[in-house]
Structures are given as C-alpha cells and as structure tokens.
Homo-oligomer: A and B are copies of this chain.
C-alpha cells in the first residue's frame, strides 16, 4: 500500500495512492485504520511531506564508498543526528537555494524508514516489525555553510532543504533496491540501496537502548554519493520498488529585491 499526505481545501489530509487518484482518508494509517472520505486526481494533487515526525533522525556516514570518498573513519557502531521539520517539503515542491549560498549545493538521495510503533529496548526482530513503511528523502546540503558553521543548522535545515516523498510504500524489501538520482533526466548517481555499514534495524536497536521511538518518527539512512544542483534543474530520486521523488530547484530572490517587493 502507498500512503501520503496532500493539501485538500487548505488542510493536510492523509491519502492512499491509487492508479489515477489519491483516496483521502479520515486519519493517519500509522495510528489506525482510517476510512475513505473522497478522492483527488493524482495529476493535480499538492503533495506534502509524507509525515511530520515527532523526531527526525538522520544517519550520516553510512555507505562504504561515501566514507572512503570523504576519507572518514568507518563507524564502529550506529549513530544518528537530527534534522528539523521546518525544512521538510513535499514531492513536486521547489527546493529553494538561499541567496547567500555559494559553491557546492548538493542533493543526497536517501532511503527513509517510517516508524509505526512505540518502542524501547527493541530486538532486531522488534526493529523490523516497527517499520510502517519506506519513503525517499533528499538531504539537500549547502557545503560552504556546512564547513563554516558549528552545526548543520542552515547547511542542512534551511527551509525546503528536506524533500520527503512521494509516498510511504508499505510492501517492499527496501534494502534489496537500487537508488538512482537524475538531474534533468540524466542519471548522475546510482547505488545499491542496501549497501550500508549499519542497516535501519541496527540503528533502531541502538537508538532504542536509550531513546523511545514513536509512531511517525523518520530515520533517514544516508547516501552513497551526492550531486550538484543549480537553479532551473529538476532533481529526481528513484528507489526501485518505492517510487520517484521529484523537485525543481529555484534560486531565492536576493534580500534587496524581496524588500522592494514588500
């Protein structure tokens, strides 16, 4: 099954994705078994981030080739960082490159686990059973800021830097898939989705030694490679068996222009 959230009459509404339409739901499929209340055509839908997580976990260096490329140390155990909900945006929505960003402005194509249960001290088996489904994330990063700043606050969490979607796929062997990133239709990055140092279940077991995970939490699993983005580009991230997350890239109007407009 494929679930997502769309904007309907100005409200965020859960939906079940069918061939032509999105069936609007009475509530969250993570929390229960909602009923269908209407439909909107897929073609005209405004897609929202598939969930607004209570906690937004992000794994950093987790693919061997990425770690070797960055000349970083191979992690000895699973660790996580965080991203911020303000940065989330939906399938089809623009990624806005801030006016002050220079140099490398990059996409990172990531598998995302969506948690479906409350869990603490999880076993591997409980960790597997806790994943409600899988989606796709683009961990957009402004590298100059990433290197200048003490934290990732603006380099990875500026508004629109975290597209997530287009839907949550509940029936897929996510680690047996291929991740492909295309810019303007041209393949730029391709890797085996499951070629991780520590997989999502390893991370859930480790996290829940100290932390309670909750329904709707998301765990972004890192990327093997990255790719430069420019205003005017369209970036598609496909994970086979899940779908395609597509976003156009825009440049932010400079502050002086914005001020003159307002």
Contact = CB atoms under 8 A, between A and B. Distances in A.
A212 to B, nearest CB: 5
Interface string A49-93: 000101100001000000000000001000111111111000000
A210 B159 contact: yes
Contacts of A258: 121
B79 A55 contact: no
B153 A80 contact: yes
A213 interface: yes
B79 A82 contact: no
Given A85-B55, A149-B79, A154 B121 contact: no
A258 B157 CA distance: 38
Contacts of A60: 150-151
A211 interface: yes
A102 to B, nearest CB: 14
A30 B83 CA distance: 24
B159 A80 contact: no
A98 interface: yes
A128 interface: no
Nearest to A81: B151
B80 A151 contact: yes
A42 interface: no
A212 B159 contact: yes
A207 interface: yes
B79 A211 contact: no
Interface in A112-152: 120-121, 149-151
A255 B205 CA distance: 14
A204 to B, nearest CB: 13
A96 to B, nearest CB: 10
Contacts of A86: 54-55, 211-214
A211 B159 contact: yes
A179 interface: no
Contacts of A209: 100, 154
Contacts of A85: 54-55
B154 A210 contact: yes
Interface in A191-211: 207, 209-211
Given A55-B84, A82-B84, A153-B207, 9 more contacts: A60-B151, A79-B151, A81-B150, A82-B83, A86-B213, A86-B214, A100-B209, A154-B209, A159-B212
6 contacts: A54-B86, A60-B150, A79-B151, A82-B83, A86-B214, A154-B210
